[in-house]
């Protein structure tokens, strides 16, 4: 496929409000041809192609689903690599390039959660993205498939409306791009609104209902509100790392890590205020900390 220069790149930058990327407004020109695609933003270009009648009950693509009843998919984590060439530089994806995606299933393992005894299947998928200069990105994802939840009949009475403390109607501003720094620890505070989550779902062509349907998220899957996307948290981590590393360079678009590994540990919800906390060292460690100090995601950047 060809990376479009006029839509996804501009819209994702606008949604993320990144301080090191060009500001956007109505009527602003699209990124110029050959503009580097920031780390993680490939998620908005290489979207899955499927028809609505091919989706599961929860809205997810069923291409890699194990047999029933293991059809309830969750994005558990993974790693992304940006290989270096002989010159030591990354081979960046750029606006206007022709890029080929190759996808393969790496593994499928049955596991049991020690605390609950729940059985599940973990599927590892690798996506490789290559341009005319070779491989640019290797994206490995771990998907957890749990047993499907019975969907309530439409004849059943609806659940009680959410209380103000769990409703996502009233939420603060979507993001705060200010980085607070103490020594080698950097923190960015974020809040995602329902509009933000809807727009990110649209940009990544992600129809998983937990991210935009409150009745499904709350009444079927048992969440208190719609859920922040794991990939959105991954991009937020990469953005903070890049923004810190870009402060003393002439071209921030060329600041790209060699590798990030990450694992989702707890859900975040629309309206939650949470912190992305990055600690610099030989290996940069990052945690996303939600309400009550609960860690929602862990990551290491090399």
Q: Assess contact for 48 and 127: CB atoms under 8 A.
A: no
Query: Which pLDDT score is estimated for 47?
Result: 80
pTM exceeds cut of 0.75: yes
pLDDT in tens, 22-77: 444 556 677 788 889 999 999 988 887 788 888 988 999 888 889 889 988 899 99
Residue 106 in any domain: the answer is yes
Average pLDDT over residues 185-205: 95
Are the CB atoms for 34 and 238 separated by under 8 Å?
no
Question: Domain span at residue 120?
Answer: 8-149+160-301
On whether residue 1 sits in a domain, the answer given is no
Instruction: Supply the pLDDT for residue 26.
Output: 56
More confident residue, 25 or 86: 86
Place of tokens 């960015």: 188
pLDDT at site 50 = 82
> Mean pLDDT over all residues of the chain?
85
Q: What is the rounded distance in angstroms from the CA atom of residue 119 to the CA atom of residue 103?
A: 26
What Cα–Cα distance (Å) separates residue 77 from each residue in 32, 80, 295?
32, 10, 14
283, part of any domain: yes
When pLDDT is averaged across residues 138-148 and rounded to a whole number, the result is: 94
- Across residues 121-140, what is the average pLDDT? 97
What pLDDT is stored for residue 11 in this prediction? 52
Q: Judge contact between 153 and 92, C-beta under 8 A.
A: no
Q: Nearest to residue 129, comparing CAs of 244, 189, 43? A: 43
CATH, residue 28 = 3.10.129.10
pLDDT at 225 over 50: yes
Q: What is the share, in percent, of the chain residues with pLDDT greater than 70?
A: 81
Q: How far is CA 85 from CA 19, 30, 245, 246, in A?
A: 29, 29, 21, 21
Q: 192 in a domain, yes or no?
A: yes
pLDDT at 8: 52
* Percentage of the chain modeled with pLDDT above 90: 59
Whether residue 154 lies inside any domain: the answer is no
pLDDT, position 244: 92
Instruction: Please give the average per-residue pLDDT across 6-30, as a whole number.
Output: 53
Whole-number pLDDT of residue 253: 74
Q: What pLDDT is recorded for position 281?
A: 84
Domain contains 3: no
For the chain, what is the domain count? Answer: 1
296 domain-assigned: yes
The pLDDT of residue 155 is 44
Query: Lowest-pLDDT range, 232-236, 242-246, 271-275?
Result: 242-246
pLDDT at 116: 85
Q: Is 155 part of any domain?
A: no
For the ranges 13-17, 148-152, 187-191, which has the lowest average pLDDT? Answer: 13-17
């Amino acid at each position: 496929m060809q990376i479009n220069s006029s839509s996804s790149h501009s819209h994702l930058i606008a949604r993320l409000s990144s301080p090191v990327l060009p500001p956007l407004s109505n009527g602003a020109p699209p990124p110029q041809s050959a503009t580097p695609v920031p780390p993680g933003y490939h998620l908005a270009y290489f979207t899955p192609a499927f028809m609505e009648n091919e989706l599961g009950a929860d809205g997810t693509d069923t291409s890699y689903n194990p047999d029933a009843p293991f059809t309830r998919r969750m994005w558990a984590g993974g790693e992304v690599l940006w290989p270096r060439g002989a010159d030591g530089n990354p081979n960046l994806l750029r606006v206007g390039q022709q890029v080929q995606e190759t996808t393969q299933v790496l593994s499928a393992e049955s596991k049991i959660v020690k605390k609950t005894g729940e059985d599940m299947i973990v599927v590892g998928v690798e996506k490789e993205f290559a341009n005319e200069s070779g491989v640019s990105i290797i994206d490995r994802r771990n998907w957890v498939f749990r047993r499907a939840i019975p969907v309530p009949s439409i004849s059943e009475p609806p659940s009680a409306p959410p209380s103000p403390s769990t409703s996502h109607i009233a939420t603060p501003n979507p993001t705060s791009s200010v980085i607070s720094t103490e020594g080698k620890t950097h923190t960015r505070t974020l809040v995602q609104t329902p509009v933000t989550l809807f727009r990110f779902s649209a940009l990544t062509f992600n129809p998983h209902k937990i991210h935009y349907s409150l009745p499904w998220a709350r009444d079927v899957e048992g969440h208190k509100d719609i859920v922040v996307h794991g990939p959105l948290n991954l991009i937020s981590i990469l953005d903070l790392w890049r923004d810190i590393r870009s402060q003393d360079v002439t071209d921030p678009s060329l600041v790209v890590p060699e590798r990030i590994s990450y694992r989702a540990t707890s859900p975040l919800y629309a309206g939650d205020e949470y912190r992305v906390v990055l600690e610099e060292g030989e290996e940069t460690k990052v945690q996303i900390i939600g309400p009550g100090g609960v860690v929602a995601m862990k990551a290491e950047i090399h």
